[in-house]
Amino acid sequence: MDDHLTPAEERDALAAELALGLLEGQARADALRLSLSDPAFAALVAAWEAKLAPLHGEWADAQPGAAVWSGIERQLADAPADKVTAIETRLRRWRTGALLSGAVAAALALVLITRPVPTPAPAAPQLAVARIESDAAGPLVLARYNQSNGLMQLRIHGFEPGALAPELWVIPEGGTPVSLGQIGHAGEAEMTMPPPHRLLMTEGATLAITMEPVSKTPHPAPSGAAVASGKIITI
């Protein structure tokens, strides 16, 4: 049996494993983080999704209940149609799921790394990658922040449904928390940070998650202790 793979083959196999969904726990967390921080790896994952795409012709159809569409409509009704309030819309869209988040085990750790992308492309963006998790089996949030255009992308896993939803805050050094809106209990979310908020994403500032009552608008202040927090570090 020959299982000695070159580093490039290992990387491609990892991309395939992530695309197929074979990984779990820490291995899945690490691969997801890599796909957020490394566009070339993300492209490998997408290429595997495309290779396997013909299999999508084989699923057996099934009819969902009528409640699914009414639930979708209800969620869309929460979002203002007015494009002028786009920033607020994006904040609201952070609540990606119909399912609401619940209490999370305390003492999560957050690591945030800011680094320039190693390409000579014009206006090379500064990327920040954050990872928030409790343990290999618990909740996990992966975040990617592009300082050049203010785009924040999140992948959220494993928050348990309940009455409370996770809300993301940025806390300037020596300042008070500013809400970036609630995030879903699972799935993906992205937003363009409003310029005032971008100014807060600097070295020494803290990102934190608290569990808050569900709200369509960001809360003025957190109601409890952070379940996850960490300082922004530029390297």
Partner 1 sequence: MGHDAGVRRLNIPVISLRLDGVDGTQWSSGADEARAQLTAALTAVGRGDRAALRRVYDMTAAKLFGICLRICGERASAEDVLQTVYIKVWERAGQFDAARASPITWLATIARNGAIDWRRSVAGRTVRDTLPEQAAFAVADDSPLADQSLVAAEEGERLHHCLDELEERSRASIRAAFFDGSTYAELAERENVPLGTMKSWIRRGLLRLKDCLGDG
| SS3 category, 233 | strand
Q: Give the one residue of 116, 187, 204, 213 binding partner 1; rule: CB under 8 A.
A: 187
**Rounded least distance, CB 165 to partner 1, Å:** 14
- The full DSSP string for the chain is ------HHHHHHHHHHHHHHT---HHHHHHHHHHHHH-HHHHHHHHHHHHHHGGGGGGPPP-PPPTHHHHHHHHHHHHS---GGGHHHHHHHHT---SSPB----S-EEEEEEEEE-SS--TTPPEEEEEEEESSTTS-EEEEEEETTTTEEEEEEE-PPBSSEEEEEEEE-TTS--EEEEE--SSEEEEEEPPHHHHTT-STT-EEEEEEEE--SS--SS-SS--SEEEEEEE-
**Residues 92-121 contacting partner 1, CB under 8 A:** 93, 96-99
Q: Kindly write out the interface string for residues 189-208 of this chain, putting x where it contacts partner 1 by CB under 8 A and - elsewhere.
A: xx------------------
Q: Give the one residue of 30, 33, 37, 83 binding partner 1; rule: CB under 8 A.
A: 83
Q: Kindly write out the interface string for residues 5-44 of this chain, putting x where it contacts partner 1 by CB under 8 A and - elsewhere.
A: xx-xx--xx--xx--xxxxx---x-----------x--xx
**Rounded least distance, CB 154 to partner 1, Å:** 12
Beta carbon nearer to partner 1, 151 or 178: 151
| SS3 category, 210 | strand
Q: Kindly write out the interface string for residues 42-81 of this chain, putting x where it contacts partner 1 by CB under 8 A and - elsewhere.
A: -xx-xxxxxxxxxxxxxxxxxxxx-xxx-xx--xx----x
- 181 contacts partner 1 (rule: CB under 8 A): no
Which residues does residue 126 pair with via DSSP β-bridges, in sequence order? 116
Q: How far apart are CA 183 and CA 25, in angstroms?
A: 21
Q: Give the one residue of 126, 147, 151, 158 binding partner 1; rule: CB under 8 A.
A: 158
Q: Give the one residue of 87, 147, 151, 157 binding partner 1; rule: CB under 8 A.
A: 157
Beta carbon nearer to partner 1, 153 or 202: 153
Please report, as ranges, the residues that interact with partner 1 according to CB under 8 A: 1-6, 8-9, 12-13, 16-17, 20-24, 28, 40, 43-44, 46-65, 67-69, 71-72, 75-76, 81, 83, 93, 96-99, 137-139, 157-161, 184-190
